[in-house]
């Protein structure tokens, strides 16, 4: 959800916040959770089959995957 809409929702609940505050919180959360996301990506890439809904598909070759 866009930050401006989140601000509107918080304001509707009586919590006035600026988009910069929510943006700062989001940036902090991304920094804190980056190691977790990296570990999840490693596990997914190492898996021979990836699940998508009810159907699986063979994993991509590891040398073609670029990690951020």
Query: What is the number of domains present in the chain?
Result: 1
CB 44 within 8 A of CB 65: no
Whole-number pLDDT of residue 3: 94
What pLDDT shows up at residue 30? 96
pLDDT tens, the chain, 68 aa long:
999 999 999 999 999 999 999 999 999 999 999 999 999 989 888 887 666 666 555 555 555 555 55
Burial of 59 (0-12, 13-18, 19+ CB in 10 A): middle
Domain residues for the domain of 13 are: 3-64
Q: What's the confidence (pLDDT) of residue 11?
A: 97
55 backbone dihedrals φ, ψ, rounded to 5°: -120, 140
Q: What is the value of pTM for the model shown?
A: 0.59
């Amino acid at each position: 959800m866009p930050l401006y809409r989140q601000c509107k929702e918080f304001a509707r609940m009586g919590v006035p916040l600026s988009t910069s505050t929510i943006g700062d919180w989001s940036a902090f959360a991304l920094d804190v959770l980056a190691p977790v996301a990296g570990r999840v990506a490693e596990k997914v890439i190492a898996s021979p089959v990836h699940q998508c809904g009810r159907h699986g598909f063979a994993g991509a070759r590891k040398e073609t995957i670029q990690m951020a």
